[in-house]
């Protein structure tokens, strides 16, 4: 009954309601995940489209090599490198910490930029490769050849026909990535000393505060289910044939 009312119990370590602790940490983790996902999409979409449009060219080879490097290098290495370059040497950003929402939206964005980029680079590499592969499969379809035979340019075929039909696997990956960015930022939040869910879980595990761990895991499961539901709705919006079948 307490769970239905939002009462998750009391933390053994913090001596305060778990729901209050989790709600406070969500104010960092959710904006960080959304920021990182936005950067992921902004990087991956043009890179994937460019690689598919120029398949086999030097541009495609460069993109494939760069994305492979982005996948291979762990995000905490990107995080440490950016702290050294942009925080310590150049002084453009702070090396860590979170100023709080009372400091203003610009201060929050500045504090979350480096961790968001560190999270986004590997995910953008994955999404760009999926985007390229899906577009290449779509561009090999018969209706694409028919559109080209009718005189449509490569750009018109890409934007009017191919891109939207190639979005189904891309949306699947985006849904999975948001769940990962929300739940899998433990290392990044510790590198940048951010008071988010990842750092909370890490501290709760080390301090054996099991009620906090259970509550966060339950919340993340709910978030994954909700994201998958939204992705299913997006499928129907992108592909009208799915609406007709349903």
- Can you list the pairs that 74-78 forms with residues at least 24 positions away whose Cβ atoms lie under 8 Å? 74/122, 75/118, 75/119, 75/121, 75/122, 75/187, 75/188, 76/118, 76/187, 76/188, 76/191, 78/117, 78/118, 78/121, 78/122
Q: Which two tokens stand for residue 89?
A: 């040497």
Q: What is the CB-side half-sphere exposure of residue 111 using CA atoms within 13 A?
A: 22
- Spell out the alpha helix ranges (H) of 54-102: 58-72, 75-82
**Helix (H, G, I), strand (E, B), or coil: what is residue 10?**
strand
How confident is the model at residue 1, as a pLDDT?
A: 45
Sorted by where each starts, the structural domains of the chain and their CATH numbers stand as: 18-245 (1.10.3720.10)
Residue 17 pairs with which residues in a beta bridge? 10
pLDDT by residue for the chain (246 residues), tens digit each?
Answer: 455 555 667 877 878 888 888 888 888 888 999 999 999 999 999 998 888 888 888 888 998 999 999 899 888 888 889 889 998 888 888 888 888 888 888 989 998 999 999 999 999 999 999 998 888 887 777 776 777 777 766 777 777 667 777 788 888 888 888 888 887 778 888 888 888 888 888 888 888 888 888 888 888 888 888 988 888 888 777 766 666 555
Q: Which two tokens stand for residue 61?
A: 């080879």
Question: Using CA atoms, how far apart are residues 49 and 39, in angstroms rounded to an integer?
Answer: 16
Q: Which two tokens stand for residue 233?
A: 């709705």
Classify the phi-psi angles of 199: left when phi > 0, otherwise alpha if psi is within -120 to 50, otherwise beta: alpha
């Amino acid at each position: 009954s307490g769970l239905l009312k939002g009462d998750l119990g009391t933390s053994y370590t913090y001596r305060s309601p778990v729901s209050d602790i989790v709600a406070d940490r969500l104010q960092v983790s959710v904006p960080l995940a959304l920021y990182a996902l936005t950067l992921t999409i902004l990087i991956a979409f043009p890179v994937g489209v460019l690689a598919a449009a120029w398949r086999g060219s030097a541009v495609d080879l460069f993109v494939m090599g760069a994305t492979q490097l982005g996948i291979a290098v762990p995000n905490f290495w990107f995080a440490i490198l950016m702290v050294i370059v942009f925080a310590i040497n150049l002084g453009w950003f702070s090396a860590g910490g979170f100023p709080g929402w009372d400091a203003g939206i610009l201060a929050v964005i500045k504090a979350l930029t480096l961790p968001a980029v560190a999270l986004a680079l590997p995910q953008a590499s994955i999404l760009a490769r999926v985007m390229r592969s899906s577009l290449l499969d779509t561009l090999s379809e018969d209706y694409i050849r028919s559109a080209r035979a009718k005189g449509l340019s490569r750009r018109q075929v890409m934007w009017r026909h191919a891109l939207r039909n190639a979005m189904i696997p891309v949306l699947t990956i985006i849904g999975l990535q948001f769940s990962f960015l929300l739940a899998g930022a433990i290392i990044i939040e510790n590198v940048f000393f951010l008071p988010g869910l990842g750092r909370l879980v890490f501290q709760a595990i080390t301090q054996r505060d099991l009620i906090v761990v259970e509550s966060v895991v339950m919340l993340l499961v709910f978030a994954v289910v909700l994201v998958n539901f939204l992705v299913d709705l997006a499928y129907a919006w992108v592909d009208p044939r799915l609406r007709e079948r349903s």
